[in-house]
């Protein structure tokens, strides 16, 4: 396992890259395959730690699943075919898997306990417990966190007005609604990634999103049918290389096979405003202008905000990011970890309760202490990209965090990086 890595500066990034499968879609493909009738085959599945937590949890719920590299075959058990696991399910670091499975297990006729690693055990679960309880679910938390025990019940169709803009909570409610006694309506605070809605339709579910893009109606007790799916490349993984090519002179990278679901690509809109005319994911170095990012666009760029901060740290002025308090409850408090890490490079960045102010005009300096992931995959990858731009090699601690979403990240980076 990688621990501390030395990141060499790069004089440019060059070449083509097909990024690994989408993490959000891989989780959902597994879950929907498990509750469908018949066989589901997932191609270009992401075999990263988070998705493997979901795969193992579903096996322990009695679903036969086989994986060969990036191809997964699921023998679906139907909506009522899961069985009680012998032991608590260990969800590792996977917030998405935890929230989605809570919604699914809330309607199953048995009791399940979910546990997770130190980071996951500090993340808020009340946001999923409370709306599920309104549907009749019984979910018991430990001071608002994992360990969590879900006692399956008959669920009632309901109308839920969501309190947080969260695709994980929305998806938990959709999975619960599939098992309810009548139709359910979910009203989002802001539109969030809609992979669950799209995939559910492909598996034969009846789900509709109103033209306001925020009101979702789910019909209960569908007969879902297994299918074959090719998972697109993860936009969030591609974004690291979009950023690297943009901030390192002499770069030209072509990213192929990237999922471009518009609920995920807010990062491209922001980058466009900063001066890089991205149309296809054909990315070259560019001098960037500062950018102002506000609340309504946060859900479509939530996982790329560390990269927006990094880009802003190279722009010729002051950038602000607001309305992003959700960053405080990710794998780490990302507002705190981004500020700590970018300051090691001499970046002028200050935190706000819900974002940052970043002045990109000051030159960076060589860090006097190692860079660190803080155990957070996206912070580790962001700092590896930042280190490419330094004059000398920099150490990156706990680099193995990349295994959560992108196990081949350092190999791909080495292949595209041209040494100084």
Binding residues for ligand S3P, total number by CB under 6 A: 10
- Binding status of residue 167 toward ligand S3P by CB under 6 A: yes
The only residue of 54, 166, 237, 243 in contact with ligand S3P, by rule CB under 6 A: 166
Structure tokens at 336: 């705190």
Residue ranges in 61-108 assigned as alpha helix (H): 95-105
Return d(Cα 361, Cα 341) in angstroms, integer: 17
Nearer to ligand S3P, 326 or 333 (CB): 326
Nearer to ligand S3P, 282 or 326 (CB): 326
Q: Are 111 and 152 within 8 A, CB to CB?
A: yes
| Part in contact with ligand S3P (CB under 6 A); list of ranges 167-175, 217-225, 268-276, 284-292 | 167-175
Contacts with ligand S3P in 275-294 (CB under 6 A)? none
Contacts with ligand S3P in 171-210 (CB under 6 A)? 171, 193
Count other C-beta atoms under 10 Å from residue 212's C-beta: 9
Contacts with ligand S3P in 300-339 (CB under 6 A)? 302-303, 326
Give 129's strand partners: none
- Binding status of residue 376 toward ligand S3P by CB under 6 A: no
Using omega within 30 degrees of 0 as the cis cutoff, is the peptide bond preceding 278 cis? no
- Smallest gap from Cβ 409 to ligand S3P, in A, equals 16
Nearer to ligand S3P, 93 or 314 (CB): 93
Burial class of residue 370 (count of CB atoms within 10 Å of its CB; 0-12, 13-18, 19+): middle
| Part in contact with ligand S3P (CB under 6 A); list of ranges 166-174, 252-260, 382-390, 409-417 | 166-174
Q: Are 179 and 135 within 8 A, CB to CB?
A: no
- Binding status of residue 98 toward ligand S3P by CB under 6 A: no
Q: Which of 22, 50, 303, 376 is catalytic?
A: 303
The only residue of 54, 96, 112, 337 in contact with ligand S3P, by rule CB under 6 A: 96
Nearer to ligand S3P, 29 or 367 (CB): 29
DSSP reduced 3-state for 223 = coil
Return d(Cα 360, Cα 142) in angstroms, integer: 42
Nearer to ligand S3P, 46 or 349 (CB): 46
Count other C-beta atoms under 10 Å from residue 385's C-beta: 27
Q: Is 22 a catalytic residue?
A: no
Strands (E), 180-280: 184-187, 207-209, 215-218, 228-230, 252-256
- Residue pointed to by tokens 């399940």: 112
Query: What residues are annotated to the active site?
Result: 303
By CB under 6 A, name the binding residues for ligand S3P: 24, 96, 166-168, 171, 193, 302-303, 326
């Amino acid at each position: 396992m990688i621990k501390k890595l030395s990141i060499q500066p790069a004089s440019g990034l060059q070449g083509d890259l097909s990024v690994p499968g989408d993490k959000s879609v891989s989780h959902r493909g597994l879950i929907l395959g498990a509750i469908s009738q018949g066989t589901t085959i997932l191609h270009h599945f992401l075999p990263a730690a988070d998705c493997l937590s979901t795969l193992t949890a579903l096996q322990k719920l009695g679903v036969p699943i086989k994986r060969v590299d990036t191809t997964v075959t699921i023998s679906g058990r139907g909506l009522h075919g899961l069985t009680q696991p012998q032991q608590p399910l260990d969800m590792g670091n996977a917030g998405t898997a935890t929230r989605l499975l809570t919604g699914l297990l809330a309607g199953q006729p048995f009791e399940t306990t979910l546990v997770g690693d130190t980071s996951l055990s500090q993340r808020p679960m009340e946001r999923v417990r409370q709306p599920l309880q309104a549907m009749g679910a019984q979910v018991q938390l430990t001071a608002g966190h994992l360990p969590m025990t879900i006692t399956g019940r008959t669920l009632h169709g309901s109308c839920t007005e969501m309190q947080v803009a969260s695709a994980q909570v929305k998806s938990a409610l959709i999975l619960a609604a599939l098992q309810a006694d009548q139709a359910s309506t979910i009203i989002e605070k802001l539109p969030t990634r809609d992979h669950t809605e799209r995939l559910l339709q492909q598996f034969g579910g009846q789900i509709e999103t109103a033209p306001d893009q925020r009101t979702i109606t789910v019909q209960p007790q569908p007969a879902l049918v297994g299918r074959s799916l090719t998972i697109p490349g993860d936009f969030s993984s591609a974004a690291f290389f979009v950023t690297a090519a943009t901030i390192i002179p002499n770069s030209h990278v072509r990213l192929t096979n990237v999922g471009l679901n518009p609920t995920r690509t807010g990062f491209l809109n922001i980058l466009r405003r900063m001066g890089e005319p991205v149309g296809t994911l054909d990315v070259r170095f560019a001098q960037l202008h500062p950018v102002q990012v506000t609340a309504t666009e946060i859900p479509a760029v939530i996982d790329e905000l560390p990269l927006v901060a990094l880009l802003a740290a190279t722009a010729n002025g002051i950038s602000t990011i607001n309305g992003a308090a959700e960053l405080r409850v990710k794998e780490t408090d990302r507002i705190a970890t981004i500020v700590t890490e970018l300051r090691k490079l001499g970046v002028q960045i200050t935190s706000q309760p819900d974002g940052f102010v970043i002045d990109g005009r000051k030159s960076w300096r060589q860090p006097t202490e190692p860079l660190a992931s803080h155990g957070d995959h996206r912070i580790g990858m962001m700092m590896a990209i930042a280190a490419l731009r330094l004059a000398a090699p920099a150490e990156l601690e706990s680099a193995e965090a990349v295994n959560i979403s992108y196990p081949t990240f350092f190999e791909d980076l080495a292949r595209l990086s041209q040494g100084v």
